[in-house]
Amino acid sequence: MRNIFPFILFLLIVACQEPAPQSQAIEPLPPIHEDMVEIDSAEIYYKFMGKGEPMILVHGGPGLDHSYFLPQMEILAPYFSLFFYDQLASGKSSSDVPPDRFTIQSFVEDIEGMRKSLGLDKIHLLGHSWGGYLAMEYATRYPENLTTLILLNPMSPNSAIRAKESEMQGAQQTAEEVALIQQITTSEAYKNKEASAYEDLFRLAFRKTFYHKSLVDSLTLTLPNAFAANSLKLQGLGKDLIEYNVLPALAQVETPTLLIYGAHDPLKELAGDSIMAYMPGVRYEVIEECGHFPYIEQPEAFLKVMKKWRGR
């Protein structure tokens, strides 16, 4: 912290000469707004907060919803107008839709539908984890609509890397984790398809992606009662993930791109390095002492990166 005594002395001198100026009022943020928009015969829930240039945030999963971004992502509200939304069959968005809506193409078009429905021009697009992959796909199809692309701990950009990561993570699974999984999956709550049981499974899975393990309890998980039924529908996305590779198309994207990984995220080495190989112009930021959720484990460092990116 700089020495503040010269500044205090200056104020005392000015006070003796003339009345002190009134302090400048801090402009309050607009009230939080939430609503539904209709996209391709489906109701998509969104929540808006903040001020500044618009940013659409794409959550991970599939099956989670926007709520795991909050309250921590609110730190971006003074710098961006934030538009969170729930993907199909997640959170408060529609789940009773035709099976052909559960495709990568359809989920990408939902992002574009959000942009149009909200009357937004160019946007910052932030995708986390699975949402990072959707953001990559969007960038290859609608680069003209992007101010910047922000990939926060994105999942693998192709199926070959994804298979390697799954193999690596499986090999790292401990006997204790296996026992805890069995304990949850044999519980009455799980047999009754209660959301709380699935929340326990997610929290167990995410715990190993945290550098500070205790902070996993700071992760907001609010799964709907229909989570099990919705998950069956979301399995339709699997056919598009058997074999995929967004890297060649991503290499043609000229949108300013920020790639962020927590230093201890299991995805960092394989996925991060492959994206860098195809997008050498990307700004790559690695945040220390955190894993898959930098905005939870290292909020100040994450905010510093994002403020620097905003003013780039």
For residue 62, say if its preceding peptide bond is cis, omega within 30 degrees of 0. Answer: yes
Block residue for tokens 């069995």: 182
Cα–Cα dist 218/293, whole Å? 10
- Give me the pLDDT at residue 126, please: 98
The beta-carbon contacts of 248-252 under 8 Å, at least 24 apart in sequence, are 248/278, 249/140, 250/136, 250/139, 250/140, 250/157, 250/275, 250/278, 250/279, 251/278, 251/279, 252/140
Is 39 among the domain residues?
yes
Is 64 among the domain residues?
yes
Give the number of domains in the chain: 1
Is 149 among the domain residues?
yes
Is 16 among the domain residues?
no
CB atoms within 10 A of CB 82: 25
Identify whether the C-beta of residue 111 lies closer than 8 Å to the C-beta of residue 139. no
Is 23 among the domain residues?
no
DSSP-derived letter for residue 29 is P
Lowest mean pLDDT among 21-35, 192-206, 229-243: 21-35
pLDDT at residue 53 is higher than 50 = yes
Is 187 among the domain residues?
no
Block residue for tokens 């990116």: 309
Q: Provide the edge-to-edge strand list for the sheet that holds 283-287.
A: 33-39, 42-50, 80-85, 53-58, 123-128, 146-152, 257-262, 283-287
> How many DSSP H helices and E strands does the chain contain?
13, 8
> Which parts of 40-139 are beta strand (E)?
42-50, 53-58, 80-85, 123-128
Please name the amino acid found at residue 188.
Answer: E
- Give me the pLDDT at residue 25, please: 52
Dihedral of the CA atoms 114, 158, 291, 279 (nearest 10)? -80
- Lookup: tokens for 67: 């709520």
Is 237 among the domain residues?
yes
For range 10-24, the mean pLDDT: 35
Each residue of 56-66: pLDDT tens digit?
999 999 999 99
pLDDT at residue 4 is higher than 70 = no
Is 197 among the domain residues?
no
Cα–Cα dist 10/4, whole Å? 10
Cα–Cα dist 143/75, whole Å? 27
For residue 71, say if its preceding peptide bond is cis, omega within 30 degrees of 0. Answer: yes
Identify whether the C-beta of residue 301 lies closer than 8 Å to the C-beta of residue 294. yes
Each residue of 231-258: pLDDT tens digit?
999 999 999 999 999 999 999 999 999 9
- Lookup: tokens for 254: 């000229």
- H or E element, residue 148: strand 146-152
Lowest mean pLDDT among 71-75, 83-87, 272-276: 272-276
pLDDT at residue 93 is higher than 90 = yes
Identify whether the C-beta of residue 219 lies closer than 8 Å to the C-beta of residue 296. yes
Radius of gyration for the alpha carbons in the chain, expressed in angstroms and rounded: 22
The CATH number for 53's domain is: 3.40.50.1820
pLDDT above 70: percentage of residues in the chain: 91
Range of the domain at 271: 33-172+208-310
80-85/33-39 β-pairing: unpaired
Q: Which residues contact 140 (CB under 8 A, 6 or more apart)?
A: 246, 249, 250, 252, 253
